[in-house]
Amino acid sequence: MPEELARYRSMVSIPLPDQTQGMVLAAFSDNVGRFRTRDTDLLARIASVVSQGVLHRSLAGRNSFLAEVIDRSPVSVAIAEAKGEMPLVYVNDAFVELTGYERAEILGENCRMLTAEEPGSEVRTSIRRTVAERDIGSFTLKNRRKDGSLFWNDLRLFPILGNEGEVTHMVATQTDATQRVQAEVERDEARRRLEGALTATTEGFLVLGALGHVRFVNETFRGLFQEDPLMVDELLPGAVMAIVFGYSSSSAAVSFPDILRELKAHEIKTKDGRHFQIRPRLIPTGGVVVAASDITQVKVNQKALRQRLAAIERSQDGIAIGDSDGRLIDANPSLLALWSFDNEAHILGRKWTSFYDASSVSVFSDSEAWFRRKGVWRGEAKLKGGGELRIHDVSVSLVPDVGSVLIIRDITERRRNTEERADLRRRLDRAQMQERLHRVSAGLAHDFNNLLTAILGSASLIDAVEDLPMPARSAVDRIQTAAQRAADLTDSFLDLGSRDKSAENIELGAILRNTVDLARGGAPSGVRLTASLQDTPIQIQASQTDVLQVVMNLVVNGIDACEGKPGEVRVSVSKQQEFTKDANFLVGHAKAGQNYLAINVEDTGKGMSPETVATILEPYFTTKGNKGTGLGLDIVGSIIEENNALLEVQT
């Protein structure tokens, strides 16, 4: 007991009511037994009064604390009386800051003066209903500050009850939601644009919520599963896809739930033959987004690329890829074979020009700047090495983002064949020129000999006169001597332009093919020249020039017979048995017991009349007017006759 109370001899106490939190009221006396019943009753009445005072003091302190909290709250608070026009009786500092109105301007007014919504708008109707029913409600509406500026307001309404349970006031809290609403508007607009773009795109998109709800799906994605009606029904906005949790109705080779569960890309093929790649991804906020890309063209391109790569690998031409400086980074097997390497390690990293004779690629080196501007170069180059000379046709192209592409072809044989054909052409031209010169000189010699015969004959008659004067006889002798020398000189003309008649062992097929190739260069585009020859070599003893000259003249005549119209000239070889005695040949006579090898030259021209056939071998006869010399078939006839061969004409 406290020391100051120790001197008292008696005490009476009364506990205060529970609201006073365990307080008591006590009375003390110096005398023992001082307090009676009436004292206790009096103390009880005093305790009742004291407890009321203590309670009022506690409530005042708490109300002061709450008022301070509300006043200083960053959230706008307004309190209106729940009667009449619902006048405002309290606003805190945050309300003043948010709206721009001072307390003196707003207290006593209805807070509807702040709204910027239309009177009949849905949100204003909902607020009026909540206030009328003295209910609780949350709203987002557009308000207007004192300065006229607009802001979005998150409004919360709730009632305050009085001692009797009646609603005495309505409290409104307000928060500036402008930034949030603007962000939501921008988000919704972005979502609208995104959904519009996703709807129009050729790619398929599906967005699932965390619980499997279809939040968005475009028609392209739904079209992937058009063969599965149940799946199509599930792919509707708002539907719940049980497929996400293990149910599958898809008939695809890889089921759609497997794709979602594994969360990795898969390829599927639709019923109409298109290929799609399905790519699911988790959304950080929950759910899955699935993209479906049409890779049909990619598949087509991949197939084409594989075919091209296979073609490059199997190409007989050498193909390589180099960097922009020409250093090789890849090559096909044909190029290795052309350069006589068995492993590309021997060539990678080297410039392609290093494999060729410097003199043959100097043109490329000298024009490299031009090549880089134009992006292409082509030429011939001699391969390095001490073996057989090999000539390559080299084509180099610059390809953006790739480098240089090198294509090489061995043209050694082609060059050799070209040179051989050129030699055959020179020999043919020389033979034809010699033959014509021989014809002309023989004709001149013949005519000149006729004149000399007359001169010598006349000189002999004069010389036979017995009394011929000496001067005249001397003149006759000179005439005879000069005429004889002229005859000898004329005989030498017969050797002018004469052909080399020596025979050699030749392969007939090669001669005929080369002849057709030579004639093809001068044939009109509509006339087709073909050589139908067997693969087995045909060896004969003959003059190569004679065969070339005869066949060339016949082929040229066949081309002319087509008269510039579409047609064909065909050269072939056939073995003939013995001919009968009555076989009719334009040149030559068949020998009994002799087998012949026939060279056939056929054309699709209109043919010749029997009268024309009878005269085609006559010198200077031609059906071509000024375009012909009339010596071609005359030469053919002479060559065939000199070789004891046969010439047959069928028309």
**Alpha-carbon span 429 to 633, nearest angstrom:** 15
Whole-model pTM: value is 0.38
Q: Reply yes or no on whether the pLDDT at 140 is more than 80.
A: yes
**Alpha-carbon span 45 to 14, nearest angstrom:** 9
Q: Between β-strands 567-576 and 527-532, what pairing exists: parallel, antiparallel or unpaired?
A: parallel
Least confident of 32-46, 124-138, 266-280, 485-499: 485-499
Q: How confident is the model at residue 539 (pLDDT cuts 50, 70, 90)?
A: confident
Closest by CA to 260, choosing from 285, 278, 235, is: 278
Q: Six-digit token pair at 63?
A: 């109300």
Q: How confident is the model at residue 399 (pLDDT cuts 50, 70, 90)?
A: confident
- Amino acid in the structure at residue 494: L
SS3 sequence of 74-133: CCEEEEEECCCCCCEEEECHHHHHHHCCCHHHHCCCCHHHHECCCCCCHHHHHHHHHHHC
Q: How far is CA 106 from CA 32, 87, 92, 134, 143, in A?
A: 67, 9, 11, 22, 15
DSSP 351: B
Q: Which pLDDT does position 454 carry in this prediction?
A: 76
Please list, in sequence order, all residues whose beta carbon lies within 8 angstroms of the beta carbon of residue 577, skipping any fewer than 6 positions away.
595
Q: How confident is the model at residue 291 (pLDDT cuts 50, 70, 90)?
A: confident
Residue 360 backbone dihedrals phi, psi, to 5 degrees: -85, -20
**Alpha-carbon span 208 to 191, nearest angstrom:** 15
**Alpha-carbon span 622 to 184, nearest angstrom:** 99
Is the model more confident about 140 or about 298?
140
Q: Reply yes or no on whether the pLDDT at 146 is more than 90.
A: yes
Q: How confident is the model at residue 154 (pLDDT cuts 50, 70, 90)?
A: very high
Give the whole-number percent of the chain exceeding pLDDT 90.
Answer: 10
Closest by CA to 353, choosing from 330, 310, 382, 389, is: 382
Q: Which pLDDT does position 300 carry in this prediction?
A: 84
Angle at 557 between CA 429 and CA 641, to 5 degrees: 70
Closest by CA to 202, choosing from 299, 303, 304, 296, is: 296
Give the whole-number percent of the chain exceeding pLDDT 70.
Answer: 80
Q: Reply yes or no on whether the pLDDT at 172 is more than 50.
A: yes
Q: How confident is the model at residue 619 (pLDDT cuts 50, 70, 90)?
A: low
Radius of gyration of the chain (CA): 61
Least confident of 155-169, 432-446, 451-465: 432-446
Which stretch of DSSP H or E encloses residue 342? Answer: none
Closest by CA to 362, choosing from 340, 377, 347, 341, is: 377
Mean pLDDT of 583-610: 80
**Alpha-carbon span 242 to 240, nearest angstrom:** 6
Return mean pLDDT, the chain: 78
**Alpha-carbon span 226 to 344, nearest angstrom:** 51
Q: Are 651 and 607 in contact (CB under 8 A)?
A: yes
Is the CA virtual torsion 215, 220, 222, 224 positive or negative? Answer: negative
Q: How confident is the model at residue 74 (pLDDT cuts 50, 70, 90)?
A: confident
Is the model more confident about 202 or about 253?
202
Q: How confident is the model at residue 298 (pLDDT cuts 50, 70, 90)?
A: confident
Residue 475 backbone dihedrals phi, psi, to 5 degrees: -65, -40
Residue 340 backbone dihedrals phi, psi, to 5 degrees: 65, 45
pLDDT tens digits, 493-533: 665 555 556 778 888 888 888 888 877 877 888 888 888 88
Q: Which pLDDT does position 155 carry in this prediction?
A: 92
Q: Which domains does the chain have, with CATH numbers?
A: 3-68 (no CATH), 79-182 (3.30.450.20), 201-299 (3.30.450.20), 315-410 (3.30.450.20), 415-493 (1.10.287), 504-642 (3.30.565.10)
626, burial (CB in 10 Å: exposed 0-12, middle 13-18, buried 19+)? exposed
Is the model more confident about 577 or about 639?
639
646, burial (CB in 10 Å: exposed 0-12, middle 13-18, buried 19+)? buried
Q: Reply yes or no on whether the pLDDT at 564 is more than 60.
A: yes
Q: Rounded to the nearest 10 degrees, what angle do helices 508-520 and 544-561 cross at?
A: 40
**HSE value, Cβ hemisphere, 13 Å, CA-based, for 613:** 13
Q: Reply yes or no on whether the pLDDT at 313 is more than 60.
A: yes
Q: Which pLDDT does position 250 carry in this prediction?
A: 39
Is the model more confident about 405 or about 433?
405
DSSP 352: G
Q: How confident is the model at residue 544 (pLDDT cuts 50, 70, 90)?
A: confident
Q: Which pLDDT does position 62 carry in this prediction?
A: 58
